[in-house]
Amino acid sequence: MYHKEKSIQIKNSASALYNNLGVLRIAPRSLTYFTVVHANVVNMVSASWDGLNYSHRQLQSKEPNVATSTSLIMQAAFCALPSRDLLVVTSQKGIQIYESDGSTMVYWHALDIPETPTAQAVFARGISAVESYICVGVSSGAILVFDVPSKGSNITLSDVLKGHEKSITDMASECSGSQECIADLISADDRGNLCVWKSGETFQRFNNIPGFDMSCTSVKLWKGTAVAGYGTGQIRLYEAVTGILHAEVNAHARWIYSLDIAPFSGLLLSAGEDSLVRVWHLTMKPESLSVEVAHLHNECVTDTQICGAKFCDGDGYAFAVTGYDLSEIIRYTQS
Amino acid sequence: MSVRTLPLVFINLGGEMLYILDQRLQALNTSEDNSEKVMNDIVGTMFSKDFMDELIKPQQLYSHRTLKTVLTRLAHASIMRLNPASMDRLYELMVMAFKYQVFLCPRPKDLLLITYNHIDTIREYVKHTPVVVNQVDETHRKIIEVYSSLPEGEFQLLRQTLLIFFQDMHVRVSLFLKNQIQNPNGRFALSTSGPVPHGIDVPGLIRMFDRKGREVRRCEFPTGGSYSSPVREGCFELHGDRVIRLGMNMYTINHPEETHTSKAPSVKTDDTPNLLAKEELNLLARLMGSMKAENMPETGFWINLFTTDQEEEEEAASDGAEESLFGVINIQAMQDEQVATELARIAGQFAEGEETPGNLSSSKGDDLLAMMDDL
């Protein structure tokens, strides 16, 4: 179904972090941007679709002052807003927002760090754009909502959402493009709890889907269905606003590190520490008001704990994978 | 990231260090008295209450340089002396062993079982000295108290912090290559068969439910691997069967060539910046300060743990016996001054770092040097 393509070499290896691959497709320029986090650096590659041109850039985490040690980056993700695309980088010290090509930093938000370290680590993790907002999760369980203007750097913190008691692991917005969805944002935490929100001037929490004391490491929202990957290697599909469980898959033998959905085709990608990437197909079943999942394809990245896997386009024609200690982005295309 | 890594790092790396030292001391026919003394001194210092208390404070995991400095100091808490080249190779071995264990750790929580495997063996090494056994037990209890109740997500964060720390290290170790747990390119082998970790379901099943929560369909999918049910869970108490074997001593007495290392091809050089941040210097000072120095003995003995490259070439050429692979033990009188100079040299490296930009006050650097001279 898929075959391996030529990999893209990156300047550093990928770190073992959840969802460690960012992809942004720039159709007008026939380019795709990729981001991979390595310790305190984000490696950016801009790849032309003809496979002939690759340009690299590195972004560093911002240090508040020289006396402190380097700040490790937890996640880097592209945010597609109605009128602009931005790149968000979250670290132990704060949140950096760049223009999507990484050329300029347009905003910096410092986290509240206590003077003496407490037993609870402090960091920001979990990034999603919804409407004209960028939402970022924090280790305390709070979600920071930033209001982003259509251009310029006048980004403001407009809300702080409380719904989680454990560190946020991942967040996602409704990706089907449908305007009728009741809820358009989902957040996940280290206890496996999922919160479902509706964005607006004031965000509303619609539902809370409890977990089983096992981290939900990656989450997606598609046509009102929450798709969540867990440290048990399982994928669960829920109806987001009601919490009704549609399906449960014993998908991987180790922790799942990344999920992605191709919104136009309903293809689902899952990847884990067990070195396997799996492709599934989601089908809406309106007659029974449920969703079904079918397995399509496996790829094994030998001896590699995968940390990022994303489709490169909305149909799922191609996908890319990163692995811990690997200095390349591996690509697969449909045969 | 995680602020709880240091105790586990030191116990596991220290444990690996002791496994290798034990193998070497035996291979070099060191007297039982000397061997026991070396073990007791190192273990006693590593598991001292003061040192452990410093490690347990929530703090970041800093650089390899700081870690290596403290581990060198730990090794030198005994009457044994290691030359810098030996220490470098020893450090590589220790780190690669721990990296392997962390990488293959079945569940993040099993990091504790790996740590307990190290503690169990350490306890064996010092079993004839009740005072030190007591220290080990006390530390073990403290670890159980602090870590047992952490959720899996926190352990995974800890594991991710360690993996970032070990990133890009691909030193090839003879024993690992021989046992095929490491590939010739330096990467560890990851199997897609065998028992799944405890608490995980064997992959391959899809279950679908109706709106009332009743299972209406199940089907299977090909996993591309051959997984089986999990084995029983290891014991997290002070004593017990840990079940997993990661963290147990892999080295055997009669095969010193197991610890040969070589850099993987196209290895990246270490490009960490020379300056240490103020936070890191503070940690280093606290850790060094918490290791009480015994009265420095008048005689110690040097161990050349690993041959230099030149000796290896000569060895390969002459096809000699295994015994000649190790250097000579030189009994050498160690003066207090020599030790103090060594430490001052290490401290001096950090003083250079202090001069670089910003807010680091020079008086802080002076205090640090003074503290080290006192050790």
Q: Report d(CA A216, CA A230) in Å as an integer.
A: 4
As given in the structure block, the two tokens for residue A79 are 């945010």
In this prediction, residue B265 carries a pLDDT of 53
CB contact under 8 A, A305 and B164: no
Query: Which is it for strands A94-99 and A234-239: parallel, antiparallel or unpaired?
Result: unpaired
pLDDT > 70 fraction of chain B, expressed in percent and rounded: 72
State whether residue A179 is helix, strand or coil: coil
Scored b (16 or more CB within 10 A) or e, A146-168 reads: bebeeeeeebeeebebebbebbb
In this prediction, residue B336 carries a pLDDT of 41
In this prediction, residue B352 carries a pLDDT of 35
Give the distance from residue B168's alpha carbon to the nearest chain A alpha carbon, in angstroms.
Answer: 6
Query: Which is it for strands A204-209 and A216-222: parallel, antiparallel or unpaired?
Result: unpaired
CB contact under 8 A, A118 and B151: no
Among A250, A293, A298, select the one facing B202 at the smallest CB separation: A250
Judge whether A307 and B258 are in contact, CB under 8 Å: no
CB contact under 8 A, B359 and A294: no
Among A70, A232, A247, select the one facing B207 at the smallest CB separation: A247
Whose tokens are 């089986």? That residue is: B228
Contacts of A231 (CB under 8 A, 6+ apart): A214, A215, A217, A255, A256, B108, B152, B153, B156
Cα dist from A306 to A60, A90, A192, B171, whole Å: 23, 20, 20, 21
CB contact under 8 A, B153 and A190: yes
Cα dist from A263 to A235, A268, B155, B222, whole Å: 18, 9, 33, 25
Q: Report d(CA B26, CA A131) in Å as an integer.
A: 68
Could you state, in chain order, the average pLDDT of each consecutive group of 10 residues for chain A (335 residues)?
Answer: 95 96 95 95 95 93 68 95 95 94 94 83 95 95 96 93 95 85 92 95 94 95 96 96 96 98 97 97 91 96 97 96 97 95
CB contact under 8 A, B151 and A275: no
In this prediction, residue B288 carries a pLDDT of 78
Query: Which is it for strands A328-334 and B193-195: parallel, antiparallel or unpaired?
Result: unpaired
Write the ipTM: 0.95
Give the distance from residue A237's alpha carbon to the nearest chain B alpha carbon, in angstroms.
Answer: 9
CB contact under 8 A, B167 and A167: no
Judge whether B279 and A68 are in contact, CB under 8 Å: yes
Q: What chain B residue is nearest to A192 in terms of C-alpha separation?
A: B153
CB contact under 8 A, A17 and B160: yes
Whose tokens are 């798709």? That residue is: A227
Q: Residue A264's Cα: distance from chain center in Å?
A: 18
List of chain A residues whose C-beta atoms are within 8 Å of the C-beta of residue B359: 65-67
List of chain B residues whose C-beta atoms are within 8 Å of the C-beta of residue A302: 190
In this prediction, residue B373 carries a pLDDT of 43
Spans of all domains in chain A: 2-110+121-334
Strand partners, B207: A248, B218
End-to-end CA distance of chain A: 5
**Candidates A1, A92, A250, partner chain B, best to mutate (most B CBs within 10 A):** A250
In this prediction, residue B345 carries a pLDDT of 55
Q: What is the pLDDT of residues B87-110, one digit of tens each?
A: 888 999 999 999 999 999 999 999
Pick A2-110+121-334's CATH classification: 2.40.110.10, 2.130.10.10, 3.30.70.360, 3.30.565.10. Answer: 2.130.10.10
Among B161, B168, B206, select the one facing A247 at the smallest CB separation: B206
Give the distance from residue A136's alpha carbon to the nearest chain B alpha carbon, in angstroms.
Answer: 17
As given in the structure block, the two tokens for residue A89 are 């980088």
One digit per residue, the tens of pLDDT, for chain B of length 375 reads: 899 999 999 999 999 999 988 888 888 888 888 888 889 999 999 999 999 999 999 988 878 888 998 898 888 887 777 888 888 889 999 999 999 999 999 999 999 999 999 999 999 999 999 999 999 999 999 999 999 999 999 999 999 999 999 999 999 999 999 999 999 999 999 999 999 999 999 999 999 999 999 999 999 999 999 999 999 999 999 999 999 999 999 887 666 666 777 776 544 445 455 556 667 777 777 777 777 655 444 456 666 666 554 444 444 444 333 332 222 222 223 334 444 454 455 554 443 333 333 333 334 444 444 444 444
